[in-house]
Amino acid sequence: MRGAAFIPGLLACLLVAASCGREATSDAPRPQSAPVPAATTRAPRVVFLGDSLTAGFGLPQDQAFPARLEAILREEGTPIEAVNAGVSGDTSAGGLRRIDWLLRQEPDVVVVGLGANDGLRGLSPEQTETNLRAIVARTRDARARVLLLGMRLPPNYGREYTDRFEAVFARVAHDTDVALVPFLLEGVGGEPSLNLADGIHPNPEGQERVARNVLPYLRGLLR
């Protein structure tokens, strides 16, 4: 009989223990799921591939037109990351040699301002055109957009040569369907008050004007 009485008591203790275990489990802190990191976006990266006009020859880099464009667009609420890849004295052939390295930076837009030194050195406009077309093709292969900056030469190079040279930029832009600034130095070239003493390179006021020449075309690409 004592054994029979012992069994109900044992069952009661087990039930109480089970109930206590459930209560302890319900009160235990539950593991928190890891927070999902917020999506981050960067400003469009714009690489300016050019020569001394792009580099801002004779000026601090923050006064060159790529930096001025970056500042203007930031003030408008459309920030960009401007990468000034201007090299004084560079030609279209030099830019073509550099473009693959620059594309490793994964730009969204490449602004191509090359060819002026080709013309000043009397190089073949046909070769300049071949180089510019190759730069455009490689940039597009990297899924970046292109803005081409048109160049002109002083009239002392002769009408026939200057016409052939100037036509290169419009033809490349038309055939490849890229945006074109007709003339980078519009309103600046030949204006003593907007250039350094050499009469070729824009001073700070000239660089500001150049930035304004490029602004609407770059703004359109960013949209």
For residue 17, is pLDDT > 50? no
What is the pLDDT confidence band of residue 176, given thresholds at 50, 70 and 90? very high
Output the pLDDT for position 21. Answer: 44
> Would you list the domain boundaries of the chain?
45-222
Mention the CATH class of domain 45-222.
alpha beta
Name the least confident of 18-22, 75-79, 210-214: 18-22
How open is the CA angle 177-150-174, to the nearest 5 degrees? 20
Report which residue type is found at 104. R
From 90, 92, 118, 201, active-site residue = 201
What is the pLDDT confidence band of residue 42, given thresholds at 50, 70 and 90? confident
Output the pLDDT for position 41. Answer: 80
Share of the chain above pLDDT 90, in %: 81
Output the pLDDT for position 88. Answer: 97
CA–CA distance, 196 with 59 (Å, rounded to integer): 10
What is the pLDDT confidence band of residue 19, given thresholds at 50, 70 and 90? very low
From 19, 33, 52, 100, active-site residue = 52
Known catalytic residue: 174?
no
pTM as predicted: 0.82
CA–CA distance, 170 with 180 (Å, rounded to integer): 7
Q: Which residues pair with 188 in a beta bridge?
A: none
From 26, 177, 193, 198, active-site residue = 198
For residue 140, is pLDDT > 60? yes
Burial pattern 171-193, b for ≥16 Cβ within 10 A else e, equals: ebbeebebbbbbbbbeebbeeee
Known catalytic residue: 163?
no
Burial pattern 122-152, b for ≥16 Cβ within 10 A else e, equals: ebebeebbbbbbebbebbeebebbbbbbbbb
Specify the residue for token string 């070729």.
Answer: 200
CB 54 within 8 A of CB 214: no
Using one digit for the tens of pLDDT, what is the confidence trace for 87-134? 999 999 999 999 999 999 999 999 999 999 999 999 999 999 999 999
Q: Which residues pair with 149 in a beta bridge?
A: 181
CA–CA distance, 96 with 78 (Å, rounded to integer): 29
What is the residue-averaged pLDDT of the chain? 88
Using one digit for the tens of pLDDT, what is the confidence trace for 57-71? 999 999 999 999 999
Known catalytic residue: 33?
no
What DSSP designation does 105 have?
T
State the virtual CA torsion across 209, 211, 217, 223 in degrees, nearest 10: -140
For residue 11, is pLDDT > 60? no
Residue of higher predicted confidence among 209 and 32? 209
For residue 82 the two structure tokens come to 């401007």
Output the pLDDT for position 15. Answer: 37
Report which residue type is found at 73. L
Rounded to whole angstroms, what are the CA distances from 47 to 5, 40, 77, 113? 90, 21, 19, 11
Parallel, antiparallel, or unpaired for β 109-113 and 81-86?
unpaired
Output the pLDDT for position 40. Answer: 57
Share of the chain above pLDDT 70, in %: 82
